[in-house]
Amino acid sequence: MPESPAPRAANVIEVQDLVKTFPLRHGLFGGGGAVVHALSGVSFSVRAGETLGVVGESGCGKTTLGKTLMRLYPADGGRILLHGRDITQAGESDLRGLRRRIQMVFQDPFSSFNPRMTCGRIVAEPMEIHGIAAGREKEDRVAAMFAQVGLRPEQMRRYPHQLSGGQRQRLGIARALAVQPEIIVADEPVSALDVSVQAQVLNLMTDLQSGSDLAFLFISHDLAVVEHVAHRVAVMYLGRIVEIAEKRALFAGPKHPYTEALLAAVPVPRPGAKRERIILRGDVPSPVNPPPGCAFHTRCPIAQPLCRERTPPLALVGTDHAVACHLRAGV
């Protein structure tokens, strides 16, 4: 599988201390006051032409992060900057233009399609909404989009239920590309596909990025997939980024104990090869009542009293490598 080209220098999107909570509703009138802390001060940036992989266990906030960037969820704190412009509180009148610049590919593409629309109409609709093309030009653009993502012209007249899983994911990518975005948020785009189809979709995304400034925020729980497509990787745990680094640096020398445990669980694709497993104690704490200090200290094999008292900042430990760990920040 070919690697993506090196990213450009300019940031397409920058996130600063992003916070998102969800109130818990109890009883008939929805009282109670408890909240789910889905995102707790998340900060990162994605450069033009770059793929940033976001990994972590289920429930760590990956999907919430993607949907908050898309403004499908309103942020409760922090800032989202798109090419330096703060879009965190953008009103409805501004969102239409902004969503042309940032698009999303969903984990289950079928549920995001209108089943009464043909595949060609699904790709054409965003062009009409944003006034990109009409008439014959629109039809030509749709045909070009289908060719670009590896779909056949006759499939423009079919409906989503008549496509395979891989073809639906290609259709979702074509719809996102139809408005010529600057960044695509891809939420587990290959998790429901067979391995061979996964490779086809991942190669397609790499080819689309080649020679362009298109950026991806690639959300996944599969570290092997992220290793193939990402330039940098951010590791999330309980609503926070605990480590972020260039891909090779992170896979070769993880700093955070949680990252070490994740990598230790990845199977080695060589017969007879073994990797020392790191077994974490207990379960992930509840995001309704996260532990004080470092959220990972309840499962961390090297936790010290300081870890229970103070939340570690995301601190640089090398060039473009940051870790949120009191004991590893100086490594």
Residue 3 lies in a domain: no
- The enclosing H or E element of 92 equals helix 92-101
Residue 266 lies in a domain: yes
* Residue range(s) defining the domain that contains residue 317: 254-331
In 3D, which of 173, 179, 151 has the Cα closest to residue 163?
Answer: 151
In whole angstroms, give the CA distance from residue 206 to residue 24.
Answer: 40
Share of the chain above pLDDT 70, in %: 92
104 and 54 part of one domain? yes
263 and 210 part of one domain? no
User: What's this model's pTM, rounded to 2 decimal places?
Assistant: 0.89
On the question of pLDDT at 147 being above 80, the answer is yes
Q: What is the dihedral of CA 144, 145, 148, 149, to 10 degrees?
A: -150
210 and 260 part of one domain? no
Which of 195, 230, 265 delimits the end of a domain?
230
190 and 299 part of one domain? no
pLDDT of residue 126: 93
209 and 293 part of one domain? no
314 and 185 part of one domain? no
Q: What are phi and psi of 69, to 5 degrees?
A: -60, -35
Q: Order of strands across the sheet with 315-318?
A: 102-105, 183-187, 215-219, 51-55, 232-237, 240-246, 321-323, 315-318
Count of structural domains, the chain: 2
280 and 312 part of one domain? yes
pLDDT digits (tens, 9 = 90+) for 90-146: 888 888 888 889 999 988 878 889 999 999 999 999 999 999 988 999 999 999 999
pLDDT digits (tens, 9 = 90+) for 225-244: 999 899 999 999 999 999 99
294 and 226 part of one domain? no
pLDDT digits (tens, 9 = 90+) for 38-74: 999 999 999 999 999 999 988 899 999 999 999 999 9
224 and 291 part of one domain? no
